Amino acid sequence: MSIQAGRYELGPDNGTLSVRTSRTGAAAKAGHNLLIHVTVWQATLEAGEDPAETRIVLGADATSLRVQEGTGGLQALGDDDKASIEQTIDDDVLKRGAIEFRSTAVEAAGPDSGRLSIQGELTLAGEARPITVDVTIGEDGRLIGTTVLKQTEWGITPYSTLFGALKVVDEVEVELDTRLPAN
Protein backbone atom coordinates (compact mmCIF):
# COMPACT_ATOMS: atom_id res chain seq x y z
CA MET A 1 0.00 0.00 0.00
CA SER A 2 1.18 3.51 -0.71
CA ILE A 3 -0.24 6.98 -0.90
CA GLN A 4 -0.85 8.37 -4.37
CA ALA A 5 1.44 11.33 -4.99
CA GLY A 6 -0.28 14.66 -4.49
CA ARG A 7 -1.34 17.26 -1.97
CA TYR A 8 -4.05 16.44 0.56
CA GLU A 9 -5.80 18.78 2.99
CA LEU A 10 -6.98 16.98 6.10
CA GLY A 11 -9.11 18.04 9.06
CA PRO A 12 -12.13 17.16 11.19
CA ASP A 13 -14.28 16.77 8.04
CA ASN A 14 -12.38 13.64 7.04
CA GLY A 15 -10.75 12.41 10.23
CA THR A 16 -10.39 12.33 13.98
CA LEU A 17 -7.44 13.45 16.06
CA SER A 18 -7.71 11.94 19.53
CA VAL A 19 -5.85 11.66 22.81
CA ARG A 20 -6.24 8.80 25.28
CA THR A 21 -5.25 9.17 28.91
CA SER A 22 -5.21 6.67 31.74
CA ARG A 23 -4.99 7.02 35.50
CA THR A 24 -2.82 5.73 38.29
CA GLY A 25 -2.30 6.14 42.02
CA ALA A 26 -3.88 4.84 45.20
CA ALA A 27 -7.24 6.43 44.29
CA ALA A 28 -7.13 5.43 40.58
CA LYS A 29 -10.48 3.63 40.92
CA ALA A 30 -12.13 7.01 41.47
CA GLY A 31 -10.82 8.52 38.23
CA HIS A 32 -11.48 7.86 34.56
CA ASN A 33 -9.51 6.85 31.50
CA LEU A 34 -10.36 9.54 28.97
CA LEU A 35 -10.93 9.67 25.24
CA ILE A 36 -10.49 13.26 24.11
CA HIS A 37 -11.03 14.59 20.58
CA VAL A 38 -9.21 17.57 19.16
CA THR A 39 -12.06 19.29 17.35
CA VAL A 40 -10.12 22.03 15.52
CA TRP A 41 -7.09 20.85 13.54
CA GLN A 42 -5.76 20.89 10.01
CA ALA A 43 -2.99 19.04 8.20
CA THR A 44 -1.37 19.27 4.82
CA LEU A 45 0.10 16.06 3.42
CA GLU A 46 2.34 16.39 0.39
CA ALA A 47 2.92 12.83 -0.79
CA GLY A 48 5.81 12.19 -3.14
CA GLU A 49 6.36 9.28 -5.49
CA ASP A 50 8.97 8.07 -2.98
CA PRO A 51 8.02 8.11 0.73
CA ALA A 52 11.23 10.06 1.43
CA GLU A 53 9.74 12.94 -0.60
CA THR A 54 6.63 13.07 1.59
CA ARG A 55 5.99 15.93 4.03
CA ILE A 56 3.24 16.60 6.55
CA VAL A 57 2.42 19.63 8.67
CA LEU A 58 -0.33 19.47 11.28
CA GLY A 59 -1.63 22.26 13.50
CA ALA A 60 -4.19 21.92 16.27
CA ASP A 61 -6.06 24.39 18.47
CA ALA A 62 -5.08 23.53 22.05
CA THR A 63 -8.40 24.93 23.32
CA SER A 64 -10.46 22.57 21.17
CA LEU A 65 -9.95 19.36 23.17
CA ARG A 66 -13.31 17.84 24.09
CA VAL A 67 -13.89 14.86 26.37
CA GLN A 68 -15.80 12.18 24.46
CA GLU A 69 -15.91 9.50 27.11
CA GLY A 70 -14.54 8.49 30.48
CA THR A 71 -14.25 4.80 31.33
CA GLY A 72 -13.76 3.33 34.76
CA GLY A 73 -14.32 5.52 37.77
CA LEU A 74 -16.78 5.26 40.59
CA GLN A 75 -19.48 7.14 38.68
CA ALA A 76 -20.13 8.25 35.12
CA LEU A 77 -18.77 11.56 33.90
CA GLY A 78 -21.44 14.22 33.60
CA ASP A 79 -21.42 17.31 31.39
CA ASP A 80 -20.13 19.45 34.29
CA ASP A 81 -17.28 16.97 34.87
CA LYS A 82 -16.32 17.07 31.19
CA ALA A 83 -16.41 20.88 31.15
CA SER A 84 -14.19 20.99 34.24
CA ILE A 85 -11.66 18.62 32.65
CA GLU A 86 -11.62 20.70 29.46
CA GLN A 87 -11.06 23.88 31.48
CA THR A 88 -8.16 22.24 33.34
CA ILE A 89 -6.59 21.16 30.04
CA ASP A 90 -6.91 24.72 28.68
CA ASP A 91 -5.66 26.54 31.79
CA ASP A 92 -3.24 24.18 33.52
CA VAL A 93 -2.07 21.47 31.13
CA LEU A 94 -1.71 22.95 27.63
CA LYS A 95 -2.05 26.58 28.76
CA ARG A 96 -3.69 27.50 25.45
CA GLY A 97 -0.36 27.09 23.62
CA ALA A 98 0.17 26.25 19.97
CA ILE A 99 0.33 22.62 18.88
CA GLU A 100 2.22 21.89 15.66
CA PHE A 101 3.86 18.87 14.08
CA ARG A 102 6.27 19.10 11.12
CA SER A 103 7.74 16.00 9.55
CA THR A 104 11.48 15.83 9.00
CA ALA A 105 11.77 12.35 7.44
CA VAL A 106 9.40 9.69 6.13
CA GLU A 107 10.40 6.07 5.59
CA ALA A 108 8.47 3.04 4.36
CA ALA A 109 8.53 0.24 6.93
CA GLY A 110 9.19 -2.23 4.10
CA PRO A 111 8.32 -2.75 0.46
CA ASP A 112 4.54 -2.78 0.02
CA SER A 113 4.09 -3.04 3.79
CA GLY A 114 1.43 -0.34 3.98
CA ARG A 115 3.27 1.23 6.92
CA LEU A 116 5.26 4.44 7.26
CA SER A 117 7.50 5.78 9.99
CA ILE A 118 7.29 9.56 10.15
CA GLN A 119 9.89 11.43 12.16
CA GLY A 120 9.25 15.03 13.01
CA GLU A 121 9.17 17.78 15.55
CA LEU A 122 6.19 18.41 17.80
CA THR A 123 5.71 21.79 19.43
CA LEU A 124 3.54 21.48 22.51
CA ALA A 125 3.21 23.74 25.56
CA GLY A 126 5.95 25.98 24.15
CA GLU A 127 8.49 23.14 23.82
CA ALA A 128 9.65 21.50 20.57
CA ARG A 129 10.78 17.87 20.72
CA PRO A 130 11.36 15.09 18.17
CA ILE A 131 8.78 12.32 17.87
CA THR A 132 8.05 9.38 15.61
CA VAL A 133 4.57 8.60 14.33
CA ASP A 134 3.78 5.11 13.00
CA VAL A 135 1.26 5.20 10.16
CA THR A 136 -0.75 2.36 8.67
CA ILE A 137 -2.13 2.88 5.15
CA GLY A 138 -5.34 1.07 4.25
CA GLU A 139 -6.42 0.07 0.75
CA ASP A 140 -9.39 2.41 1.06
CA GLY A 141 -7.26 5.54 1.61
CA ARG A 142 -7.53 5.33 5.37
CA LEU A 143 -4.50 6.48 7.35
CA ILE A 144 -4.06 5.69 11.02
CA GLY A 145 -1.12 7.35 12.74
CA THR A 146 -0.23 6.71 16.37
CA THR A 147 2.37 7.84 18.84
CA VAL A 148 2.83 7.88 22.59
CA LEU A 149 3.86 11.17 24.19
CA LYS A 150 5.42 11.54 27.61
CA GLN A 151 3.98 14.79 28.94
CA THR A 152 6.99 15.62 31.13
CA GLU A 153 9.25 15.69 28.06
CA TRP A 154 7.37 18.85 27.04
CA GLY A 155 7.48 20.35 30.52
CA ILE A 156 3.88 19.36 31.26
CA THR A 157 3.14 18.15 34.77
CA PRO A 158 0.56 15.37 34.51
CA TYR A 159 -2.67 16.29 36.28
CA SER A 160 -3.07 14.98 39.81
CA THR A 161 -5.57 15.47 42.61
CA LEU A 162 -6.27 14.15 46.11
CA PHE A 163 -2.69 14.99 47.14
CA GLY A 164 -1.32 12.82 44.32
CA ALA A 165 -3.46 9.78 45.11
CA LEU A 166 -5.14 10.13 41.69
CA LYS A 167 -2.93 11.02 38.73
CA VAL A 168 -2.99 11.00 34.95
CA VAL A 169 -0.27 8.66 33.66
CA ASP A 170 2.63 10.58 32.10
CA GLU A 171 2.30 8.74 28.76
CA VAL A 172 -0.69 9.62 26.60
CA GLU A 173 -1.58 8.03 23.27
CA VAL A 174 -2.29 10.28 20.30
CA GLU A 175 -4.06 8.91 17.22
CA LEU A 176 -4.94 10.42 13.86
CA ASP A 177 -7.54 8.39 11.96
CA THR A 178 -8.37 9.93 8.60
CA ARG A 179 -9.35 9.17 5.02
CA LEU A 180 -7.55 10.83 2.17
CA PRO A 181 -9.89 12.98 0.11
CA ALA A 182 -10.06 12.28 -3.61
CA ASN A 183 -7.01 13.83 -5.23
Compute the average pLDDT of residues 165-181: 92
Q: Give the β-pairing of 15-21 and 171-179.
A: antiparallel
Q: Which pLDDT score, from 0 to 100, does residue 123 have?
A: 96
Q: What angle do CA 148, 20, 114 make, to 5 degrees?
A: 55
Q: Which pLDDT score, from 0 to 100, does residue 31 have?
A: 86
Q: pLDDT (tens digit, 9 = 90+) per residue, 64-85?
A: 999 999 998 888 989 999 999 9
Q: How far apart are CA 89 and CA 150, in angstroms?
A: 16
Any idea what DSSP says for residue 32?
-
Q: Which pLDDT score, from 0 to 100, does residue 112 have?
A: 66
Q: Which CATH superfamily is 6-50+61-96+139-179 part of?
A: Lipid/polyisoprenoid-binding, YceI-like (2.40.128.110)
Q: Which pLDDT score, from 0 to 100, does residue 183 have?
A: 64
Compute the average pLDDT of residues 115-121: 94
Q: Which pLDDT score, from 0 to 100, does residue 10 have?
A: 96
What residue segments make up the domains of the chain, in order of their start? 6-50+61-96+139-179
Q: What are phi and psi of 53, to 5 degrees?
A: -90, 5
Residue 39, Cβ density class (10 Å: 0-12 exposed, 13-18 middle, ≥19 buried): middle
Q: pLDDT (tens digit, 9 = 90+) per residue, 132-151?
A: 999 999 888 899 999 999 99
Q: Is the pLDDT of residue 1 over 80?
A: no
Sheet holding 160-161, edge to edge: 23-24, 166-168, 160-161
Residue 14 contacts residue 141 (beta carbons within 8 Å) = no
Q: What is the pTM of this model?
A: 0.91
